[in-house]
Chains A and B, each alone.
Chain A
Amino acid sequence: MNEARNVRMQFSRILLAISLAAAAAMIVGNVVVQRGGPVVEMPAAFSH
């Protein structure tokens, strides 16, 4: 009985872990995409 309960308890932790991993992946993915281009500032307003 206790064992079954432990197995059941585990699922909420698994779900939390999956959610956190997905959240982290989205944030990291976003940072990679944002920084993906060459890191060169656009010329300023007066640059023609």
Chain B
Amino acid sequence: MTDRYARTSLISLIAAALISAIHHVLELGPRGVMIAVVFIAAACGTLLWFKRSESRAALVVYALLNVWMIVGFGLLHGFVEHTIPLLALSHSSTSLGLTTLMGHLSGVAMAGAAVWVAITGWRFLSAAADARAEAAAAIKRLPLVPAVASAGLLAVVVGAHAYVDAHSLRIAIIAPTTGPNAVLAQSFIRAAEMAKEDLGPEAERIQLVTVDSTGTPERARNVIDQMFRAQRIDAVLGAVSASGQFTVPHATDARIPHICICSVRTIGDGRYNFTNIPLPEDEAVRWVAEAKRRGTTTISILAQEETSIRNHADAMSREAMKNGIKILFDGRFAGDTIDFVRLAKQARAANADLVFAEAFPPLIDRLVQELRRQGVANIASIVTPSAADDPRTLEGVWYTDTNLADATFQSRFEARFPGTRFAAHMTPYAYDSFKLLARALANSGEPAAYVRGITRYDGVAGIVTRDREGGNFRSRPAVWVIENGKPRELLP
């Protein structure tokens, strides 16, 4: 009996090591094979050691190998990092690329195999621990076939991986796809998918690698580092400046083009890294022009303390003063502010022609509601109302956002992806930038040089320009208004 327990325990451990190795080849590249090499050799070696010496130490090492497989690979990696996310994804509208799906499914298989390892390992160890001499004598011959078959299967997997790797071009899409703004990040990924489809045969060889940058900056840096270590990436499309800054050194090292749909000017170095969305001063110029058109001479500012919002508010404030508009009140607040009564009262008391309010949802919703309660009628903003949790609470608020020059773009997107909320701010730039990167890869020369050569294009967000040496693609935003509970482009 003990012989059979020993054999099934060893076979389950070999199978689990094989599945883990395949999973890690998909996740980390060929070096994932090391898991199978280490585990299979250690498991066979330890059992052989036990058979020959009846040693307690051998059983302890064998038990620890089992624990490592069950807890480390099965529970913490297979279950927590793949099974749970896969279940969560199956209940969301998140798009799932083939690579991501394969990664999750092999992770689930790893968790399943670990359960088998736990059962067989327990049976063998409980039978052998207190009767070592009998157990060691009972073990006849260790099964060699599974170990050899695993080596063969792994060679095939690594070969197939290398073949696919050599024949595809990878564009990494880095976006916070699972956090509080997953719905909006989805719009970003869908834009890339739509651009790939619209390019047709031109983008046939291009594979999208989606990287979820949700979580702490530390975690975002880790997943980005891991992605660059695991596979060859040919170009990067990023959604957020905070993760864009972690991508910059990798893009420079690998000499690949990286376009960040973010307005932090310094991310664009004009060599390998570029930004493509209006800079704060582009928003400010358009915003102040509209404020003047509406006869505004005085403004109150209420803005969240956050890098991008601070940049918008500061640029707007400078541009307004340059144009003779007075700032009567300037209130900044933290991202965890709950009560806006005091700030709204102060803004009301300043009695300016217009209140500038900018914050991320859900703060923007609450802030505007409170301003309305205090009797403020004229409210304007930059970008964030389009992301409001409930746009109906922002009825009548005007703001600057992307100029949707291609009037059919939004309807094409919504017809293609019903159920995905169209984020006007990022989607058009993500679409155009993906096309730019895909063409750069299809081009015979160096992809980054192709992007460096583009100083003007006419895309779905209108005319986009760039200084020959600059790292920022610039464009002119449009004026939008929330009307009947929906954003509507008012003036290009």
A interface with B by C-beta (< 8 Å): 8-9, 11-12, 15, 18-19, 22-23, 26-27, 30, 34, 36-48
Contact = CB atoms under 8 A, between A and B. Distances in A.
B263 interface: yes
A45 B216 contact: no
B240 A26 contact: no
A45 B423 contact: yes
B246 to A, nearest CB: 11
Contact of B71 (A26, A37, A43): A26
Given A22-B64, A22-B67, A42-B217, 11 more contacts: A8-B130, A15-B63, A26-B67, A37-B217, A40-B216, A42-B176, A43-B306, A44-B176, A44-B184, A47-B240, A47-B308
A30 B74 CA distance: 13
Q: Which of A22, A27, A41, A44 has the most C-beta atoms of chain B within 10 angstroms of its own C-beta?
A: A44
A47 B307 contact: yes
Contacts of B253: none
B310 to A, nearest CB: 11
Nearest to B216: A37
A42 B76 contact: no
Given A15-B129, A38-B217, A47 B60 contact: no
6 contacts: A11-B129, A15-B59, A37-B219, A45-B181, A46-B426, A47-B360
B360 A46 contact: yes
Interface of B: 56, 59-60, 63-64, 66-68, 70-72, 75-76, 125-126, 129-132, 175-176, 179-181, 184-185, 188, 213-220, 239-243, 261-264, 277, 306-308, 360, 383-384, 387, 423, 425-426
Contact of B239 (A9, A38, A45): A45
B264 A48 contact: yes
Contacts, number: 117
Which of A11, A22, A46 has the largest number of chain B CB atoms within 10 A? A46
A47 B67 CA distance: 42
A9 B130 contact: yes
A42 B64 contact: no
The B contact surface, by secondary structure, is helix
A37 B221 CA distance: 10
Contact of B60 (A15, A41, A42, A45): A15
A31 to B, nearest CB: 9
A39 B75 CA distance: 24
B465 to A, nearest CB: 19
A40 B68 CA distance: 31
Which one of A12, A40, A47 has the greatest number of beta carbons of chain B within 10 Å?
A47
Nearest to A9: B130
Given A40-B217, A41-B215, A43-B242, A12 B129 contact: yes
A11 B69 CA distance: 22
6 shortest interchain CB distances as A-B pairs: A37-B218, A12-B129, A45-B181, A44-B181, A48-B263, A45-B184
Contacts of A12: 125-126, 129-130
